[in-house]
Chain A
Amino acid sequence: MLIELKNIDKYYPIGRERLQVLHGVNLQIEQGEFVGIMGPSGSGKSTLVNILGFLDSKYDGEYLFAGKSVSGLNDRELSHMRNRTVGFVFQDFHLVETATVFENVQMPLLYAGITAKKTVSAVEQALERVGIGEKSKQKPSQLSGGQKQRVAIARALINQPRFIIADEPTGAMDTKTSAGIMEILFNLNKEEKVTVVMVTHDFSLLKYCSHQIKVVDGVVQKGTLQA
């Protein structure tokens, strides 16, 4: 078992009140799965994904990663977990605009303590793999949406993480570009057994998913999703 959530409750403070966004979430994800998380806006999908990706540690309940509890880790330990075990692909890419494509992909390796020289071949390989090897000197602003997302995927893969979180990775793309991105993610999952956790609104993407999770009003509903 790669990921196991037990009775996760999450509250957001709103003024003096607090709004509960997750209600006793129980979740299991196996190594090698392609997980699709669906649900209406405001249902708590993003909150759930933030917890899974070690970005949010303020919740009640227990999070077991590869059998070990990660609840209550300090900032340094959580940063280490983010660096080594998870790769992020966001809807709006989240690339550093002032840095080149190469530097964006290189970043996780530098935070892992690897010297710049030793990162060069790994970064070039990752860029080749997502099909934008020739763009490494360019700034993100010179790329199209699909190309930016390829950079983000290369960056997510560079540290060989245990799983990738893709938060609506094709949300702002036309169907053709979207298909290209999904192809990359699907192949990674199929060929290299990378676990993918994808949040999406798009029912058409469910055909890629081996495990489907539906979130409604902060509650996880099991079963196969239908359009």
Chain B
Amino acid sequence: MKFQMLLHTALQSLWNNKRRTLLTMLGIVIGIASVIAIISIGKGFQRETVSNLTSSESDKMSVVAYFIPDNMNMQSSRMEPFSPRNIADIKRIEGVDGVSTEQSSQSYYTVTVQAGNDTFSTAADLLDGTESPTELVAGNHIDRADNAGKKKVVIIRQDIAEKMYGSAENAIGKGIDINGVKFYIKGVAPPLKPQIISFSLGFEKEIMLPKSAYQFYFEKNKKEAVTELTVFVKTDYSVKAVSDDLIEYLDKNGNNRQIGTYGVLDMSQMMQAIGNVINSLTYFISAIAGISLLIAGVGVMNMMYISVSERTKEIGIRRAMGATKESIQMQFLLEGILVTFSGGIIGYLFGILVATLISKLLPFGIYIDIPTILMTVVVSLLIGVVFSVMPAKAAAKKDVIDILR
């Protein structure tokens, strides 16, 4: 019998049992839909995460080289891990597209304040007098002249002023010990509101003082040393190879190799690792959802066995009319595959729909790729074959004489 006739026959017998066919298909639809929904949401999440982490970087792949001194307390001003000669050499390493010596911008300056009997460390804001003035309860702002003259003036908060001198007004012009140096209180700002995250940039600090005075009194020995290098890699070079060359060079020739260790951070590898973790998580959850597919597959098998036993007489008639065993087997196999395949397609569409609806509640979109579509097709065909082959074989094996007796 021609294949298209077998297909026609299979479709017809499925149609004759519409309700049973639909119920069996429903199992496959739910199984495939849940796997697809999880995978497309998981992939969407993965892409979102990776693109968030890499958004600040340029499109070029880069490696970050850093230095960790053996003595952690060593002042950074005494180090110069990447000398100009080092940087020049690194630029000549094969595959290096460029080097960025951008300083790790220190967002955070700490000072030790002695207020009466209390000594505490706190974050300080360094002003150069150009900032827009903030609200003060007493005194004046730090202006350009203060910064230019490296004046030892400071703005403190109202609560500290009251603790030391009774009131904000009394505190103006009085002294306060900062890092052992006496500064004069020029202004008093309202107390800080309680903050949940005190690290972040842009938040108000306890203390404000002129930038030049800070640098003059507390950082006078500090040179502008390069502490971190971002090395860009040419697109047709392997990031791994370049970072290997880089670390080898630094271990041999790094300016501070005697007093610490050099390290490299391959950003792309890190991204890949994070991506992989999310990926495996997605596949793990999908595998759990896949168990429902297994159960649905057993449902298909059950349906096929029932169908075979119901249609024993039909099998006998077909065999008497000249159907070979293969032809009978193919007919039942096709029925099973048709159920799972159409279930797979419907399930795929349904899963995408569910994932799209869920993603409306999430801060990222779903991601649909070709491998997922192919996987759906292959998996649903496979379930059809695996769970129908035994019933189909049973159908083909039936003894014609027994049936027609």
Do A and B bind?
A: yes
- Within A7-38, the residues touching B (CB, 8 Å) are none
- Interface residues of chain B: helix, strand, loop or mixed (majority): helix
Contact A98–B2 (Cβ < 8 Å):
no
Contact pick for B327, options A90, A97, A111, CB 8 Å: A111
A173 at interface (Cβ–Cβ under 8 A)? no
Q: Which of A55, A112, A113 contacts B401 (CB 8 A)?
A: A55
- Interface code B304-334, partner A: CB below 8 Å = 1, 0 otherwise? 0000000001101111111111110000000
Contact between chains at A94 and B320 (CB < 8 Å): yes
Q: Across the interface, which residues of B come within 8 angstroms of A112, CB to CB?
A: 322
Q: Chain B contacts of A99 at CB under 8 A?
A: 12
A149 CB → nearest B CB, Å: 14
Stretch at the interface among A61-69, A76-84, A124-132, A183-191: A76-84
Residue-wise interface mask of B (363-405) relative to A, using a CB-CB cutoff of 8 A (1 in contact, 0 not): 0000000000000000000000000000000000000110011
B8-34 interface mask toward A, CB cutoff 8 Å, 1 = contact, 0 = none? Answer: 100011001000000000000000000
Residues of B within 8 A of A98 (CB): 12-13, 16, 314
Residues from chain A with Cβ under 8 Å of B318 in the complex = 96, 107, 111
Please give, as numbers and ranges, the residues of chain B lying within 8 Å of A111 by CB-CB distance. Answer: 1, 318, 321-323, 327
CB distance from B320 to the nearest CB of A (A): 5
A146 at the interface (CB under 8 A from B): no
Select one of A56, A82, A95, A97 contacting B322, CB under 8 A: A82
| Cβ of A202 under 8 Å from chain B | no
Interface string of A151-182 (1 = CB under 8 A from B): 00001000100000000000000000000000
Residues of chain A with a CB closer than 8 A to B5's CB: 110, 115-116
Whose C-beta in chain B lies nearest to the C-beta of A75?
B325
Given known A55-B404, A56-B401, A116-B5, contact A94–B317 (CB-CB < 8 A): yes
Q: Which residues does chain B contribute within 8 Å of A53, judged by CB atoms? A: 320
Contact A94–B327 (Cβ < 8 Å): no
A55 to B: closest C-beta gap in Å? 5
Are A110 and B1 interface neighbours, CB within 8 A? yes
Is A88 in the interface zone, CB < 8 Å from B?
Answer: yes
Most buried by A among B1, B313, B325: B1
Partner of B317 from A76, A96, A159 at Cβ < 8 Å: A96
Proximity string of chain A (47-77) to chain B, C-beta cutoff 8 Å, 1 when within and 0 when not: 0001001011000000000000000000110
Q: A83 touching B405 by the CB < 8 A rule?
A: no
Q: Which residues of B contact A145 (CB under 8 A)?
A: none
Q: A82 and B404: CB pair below 8 A?
A: no
Which A residues are in CB contact (< 8 Å) with B401?
A: 50, 55-56
Contact B2 A82 (CB under 8 A): no
Compute the total of residue contacts between A and B using a CB distance below 8 Å: 68
Residues of B close to A46: CB separation below 8 A: 405
Q: Could you tell me the distance in whole angstroms from the C-beta of A49 to the nearest C-beta in chain B?
A: 10
Interface centre among B12, B316, B318 (most CB of A within 10 A): B318
Q: Once bound together, how far apart are the Cα atoms of A75 and B325, in whole Å?
A: 7
Cα A215 to Cα B321 in complex, Å, equals 26
- Report the bound CA distance from A88 to B322 in whole Å: 11
Complex: A113 Cα to B1 Cα, angstroms? 5
| Contact A80–B321 (Cβ < 8 Å) | no
Between B317, B318, B321, B327, the greatest number of chain A beta carbons within 10 A of the residue's beta carbon is seen for: B321
A98 to B323, CA, bound (A): 18
| A98 nearest CB neighbor, chain B only | B16
Give min CB distance, A27 to chain B, whole Å: 19
Are B321's CB and A82's CB within 8 A? yes
| Residue from A79, A90, A107 with most neighbouring chain B CB atoms (10 Å) | A79
Given the complex of chains A and B, what is the CA–CA distance between A56 and B8 in angstroms? Answer: 29
B327: A residues at CB distance < 8 A: 79, 111
**Interchain nearest-CB distance for A118 vs B (Å):** 11
Assembled-state Cα–Cα distance A76/B318 (Å): 13
> Which residues from B are CB-within-8-Å of A113?
1-2
Query: Is A39 at the interface (CB under 8 A from chain B)?
Result: no
Judge whether A218 is part of the interface by a CB distance below 8 angstroms.
Answer: no
Q: Are A83 and B2 in contact (CB under 8 A)?
A: no
- How far is B319's CA from A94's CA once the two chains are assembled, in angstroms? 12
Complex Cα gap A116–B12 (Å): 15
Distance in angstroms between the alpha carbons of A43 and B52 in the assembled complex:
87
Q: Is A108 an interface residue (CB 8 A)?
A: yes
Return chain A residues, CB-CB under 8 Å to B321. 82-83, 88, 107-108, 111, 155
The answer to whether A79 and B16 touch (CB under 8 A), given A90-B404, A113-B1, is no
Closest to B315 in A: A96
Chain A, Cβ-Cβ closest to B313: A94
Q: How far is B314's CA from A155's CA once the two chains are assembled, in angstroms?
A: 15
| Chain B residues whose CB sits within 8 angstroms of the CB of A155 once the complex forms | 321
Residues from chain A with a CB closer than 8 A to the CB of B1 are 110-111, 113
Please, which residue of chain B has its CB at the minimum distance from the CB of A112?
A: B322
Contact residue among B13, B16, B323, B400 (Cβ-Cβ distance under 8 Å from A55): B400
Closest chain B residue, CB of each to CB of A46: B405
17 A-B contacts (beta carbon < 8 Å):
A55-B320, A55-B401, A55-B404, A76-B326, A79-B324, A79-B327, A83-B321, A88-B320, A94-B404, A96-B317, A107-B318, A107-B321, A111-B1, A111-B327, A112-B322, A113-B2, A115-B2
Query: What is the interface of chain A, defined by CB distance below 8 A to chain B?
Result: 46, 50, 53, 55-56, 75-76, 79-80, 82-84, 88, 90, 94-99, 107-108, 110-113, 115-116, 155, 159
With contacts A79-B327, A82-B319, A111-B327 known, what are 18 further pairs, Cβ within 8 A? A55-B400, A79-B325, A80-B322, A82-B320, A84-B322, A94-B317, A96-B314, A96-B318, A99-B12, A110-B2, A111-B1, A111-B321, A111-B322, A111-B323, A113-B1, A113-B2, A116-B8, A155-B321
